[in-house]
């Protein structure tokens, strides 16, 4: 039976682009509404296909199945679809630059800097470059790698930049988590308490869309405030080092006495 309103699990899986095992696993986790039973056979409709499509898109954006499961479980059945769609829309403004794929020999030209074997290994080890086989590579975060190349042109070693990237990820991740938590506890909590009204959906999406530039501006402004202080400390260290290298200055008013 292969109609829009009567798909077997095999047909549903094929149309969703996944395996039957995955579909059954999603159903077991409560991510799919129960099928319509005819005898011992369950039939699925467009709503099941739409739900699987939403789940796939959320996973592609980095959502864990456990998070999707909690969302579905905590949302009234009739509103689960709206909630999943809202989360997907909320992720859209935060989607990073899409990955790039290229021949391995094109990486140096793309970056505009020489990439030594040691640097190549470090980039691969940090998953900033992914080797695909057949002489091709994937760059998951092109903007980050380009920024690293700019820093290399300033004379900074790639290996040190990769370590700094890990520190940046930790600190910036903590800040972004705070912004998202603020949104969750205020705008989103109010929206859910109202039952996810359709007339407010666009307003909530607008808030999420504006949250990224607001958070970025806050980070940049704080960075601009902190950077001069850090540079000032560095210049003080340089000044002290130069004075030490110059040695003790001659006392004023003292002159060599002639013999």
Question: What pLDDT was estimated at residue 229?
Answer: 82
| Higher-pLDDT residue of 151, 63 | 151
- Answer yes or no: do 78 and 133 share one domain: no
- Answer yes or no: do 87 and 113 share one domain: no
Lowest mean pLDDT, pick from 16-30, 106-120, 160-174: 160-174
In a domain, 18, yes or no: yes
Which of these three, 54, 71, 94, is where a domain ends? 94
The 10s digit of each residue's pLDDT in 183-242 is 889 988 898 888 878 788 788 878 877 787 788 888 888 888 888 888 888 888 877 777
Tokens linked to 45: 């409709």
- Answer yes or no: do 115 and 61 share one domain: no
- Answer yes or no: do 79 and 16 share one domain: yes
- Answer yes or no: do 100 and 88 share one domain: no
Provide the domain limits for residue 232. Answer: 174-241
Contact between residue 43 and residue 6 where contact means Cβ atoms under 8 Å apart: yes
- Answer yes or no: do 113 and 75 share one domain: no
pLDDT confidence bin for 250, thresholds 50/70/90 = very low
CATH number at residue 141: 1.10.10
Question: What pLDDT was estimated at residue 88?
Answer: 67
pTM of the model: 0.50
Look at residues 64, 81, 63 and name the one whose alpha carbon lies nearest to residue 72.
81
Judged against a pLDDT cut of 50, whether residue 51 lies above it is answered with yes
In a domain, 86, yes or no: yes
Judged against a pLDDT cut of 90, whether residue 157 lies above it is answered with no
Look at residues 70, 37, 72 and name the one whose alpha carbon lies nearest to residue 51.
72
Task: Tally Cβ neighbours within 10 Å of residue 172.
Answer: 12
Question: What pLDDT was estimated at residue 44?
Answer: 92
- The structural domain count of the chain equals 3
In a domain, 246, yes or no: no
Residues facing residue 6 across a β-bridge: 3
Which of these three, 72, 94, 116, is where a domain ends? 94
Judged against a pLDDT cut of 70, whether residue 75 lies above it is answered with no
CATH number at residue 54: 1.10.1660.10
Contact between residue 205 and residue 90 where contact means Cβ atoms under 8 Å apart: yes
Task: Tally Cβ neighbours within 10 Å of residue 49.
Answer: 17
- Answer yes or no: do 104 and 56 share one domain: no
- Answer yes or no: do 185 and 235 share one domain: yes
Q: What is the mean pLDDT of the chain?
A: 81
Question: What pLDDT was estimated at residue 259?
Answer: 45
- Answer yes or no: do 14 and 80 share one domain: yes
| Higher-pLDDT residue of 8, 83 | 8
Kindly state the average pLDDT of the residues 91-99: 68
Question: What pLDDT was estimated at residue 58?
Answer: 79
Judged against a pLDDT cut of 70, whether residue 94 lies above it is answered with no
In a domain, 250, yes or no: no
- Answer yes or no: do 88 and 102 share one domain: no
Which of these three, 59, 76, 94, is where a domain ends? 94
């Amino acid at each position: 039976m292969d109609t829009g309103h009567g798909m077997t699990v095999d047909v549903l899986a094929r149309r969703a682009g996944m395996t039957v095992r995955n579909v059954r696993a999603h159903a077991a986790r409560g991510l799919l509404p129960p099928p319509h039973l005819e005898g011992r056979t369950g039939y699925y409709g467009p709503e099941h296909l739409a739900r699987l499509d939403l789940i796939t898109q959320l996973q592609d954006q980095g959502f864990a199945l456990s998070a999707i499961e909690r969302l579905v479980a905590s949302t009234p059945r009739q509103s689960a679809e709206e909630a999943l769609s809202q989360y997907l829309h909320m992720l859209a403004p935060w989607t990073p630059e899409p990955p790039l794929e290229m021949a391995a020999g094109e990486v140096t030209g793309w970056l505009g800097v020489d990439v030594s074997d040691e640097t190549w290994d470090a980039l691969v080890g940090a998953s900033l470059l992914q080797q695909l086989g057949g002489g091709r590579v994937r760059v998951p975060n092109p903007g980050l790698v380009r920024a690293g190349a700019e820093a290399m042109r300033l004379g900074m070693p790639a290996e040190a930049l990769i370590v700094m990237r890990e520190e940046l990820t930790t600190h910036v991740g903590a800040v972004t988590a705070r912004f998202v938590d603020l949104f969750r506890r205020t705008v989103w909590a109010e929206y859910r308490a109202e039952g996810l009204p359709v007339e407010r959906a666009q307003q909530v999406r607008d808030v999420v869309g504006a949250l990224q530039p607001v958070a970025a501006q806050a980070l940049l402004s704080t960075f601009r405030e902190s950077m001069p202080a850090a540079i000032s400390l560095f210049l003080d260290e340089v000044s002290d080092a130069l004075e030490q290298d110059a040695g003790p200055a001659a006392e004023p008013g003292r002159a060599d006495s002639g013999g």
